Amino acid sequence: MKQMQKMLPMMGMMAVMLIVTTTEAYAGTTGLVFQTAYNTLVGWVQGYGGKIFAVLSFFIGLGVAAWTKSLLPPLLGIGIAFLVAYGVAIIQGVATATI
C-alpha cells in the first residue's frame, strides 16, 4: 500500500502528460516528412540493391549448408530473397488496406 502511495504522484503526472501530448500524435499522419526516406529505401530494395542482397543471402546459405551439411540455410536464403522481392508490396498492401 505504501508503495502504491509513493507511485501515485508519478502516475498522475504521466496521465497529465498523456492527455497533453495526445493531440501531437496525429500531427504527422498525412504529412510528407518521411516520404523521401521511404522512396529511397523502397528504391534500394526493389532495385539492384535488393537483388544483390537476395543473391548474397542465398549464396551465404549455400556456404553455411556446405559447412554444416544441412539443407536449411539455403532454404532460409530463398525465404529472405522472397521477402526482399515481395516484402514491400505486402507491407504496402497491408498498410493501405481498407475494410
In a domain, 27, yes or no: no
Backbone angles phi, psi at 60, to 5 degrees: -65, -40
The answer to the question of residue 11 being in a domain is no
Residue 5 lies in a domain: no
As a whole-number percent, the residues of the chain with pLDDT over 90 amount to 0
Residue 46 resides in a domain: yes
Q: Specify if 24 maps to a domain.
A: no
Tell me the CA distances in angstroms from 31 to 26, 28, 77, one per residue in order.
Answer: 10, 5, 36
Query: Rounded to an integer, what distance in angstroms lies between the CA atom of residue 64 and that of residue 68?
Result: 6
Res 29 pLDDT > 60 = no
Whether residue 66 lies inside any domain: the answer is: yes
- Is residue 85 in some structural domain? yes
Residue 76 structural domain:
33-95
Q: pLDDT, tens digit, for every residue of 37-74? A: 888 888 888 889 888 888 888 888 888 888 888 888 88
pLDDT tens digit sequence for 3-12: 777 788 888 8
Average pLDDT for the chain: 80
Q: How many domains does the chain have?
A: 1
Q: Which of 56, 54, 53, 87 is nearest to 64 (CA)?
A: 56
How far, CA to CA in Å, does 18 sit from each of 4, 7, 49, 63? 20, 16, 41, 51
- Check residue 23 and give its pLDDT: 58
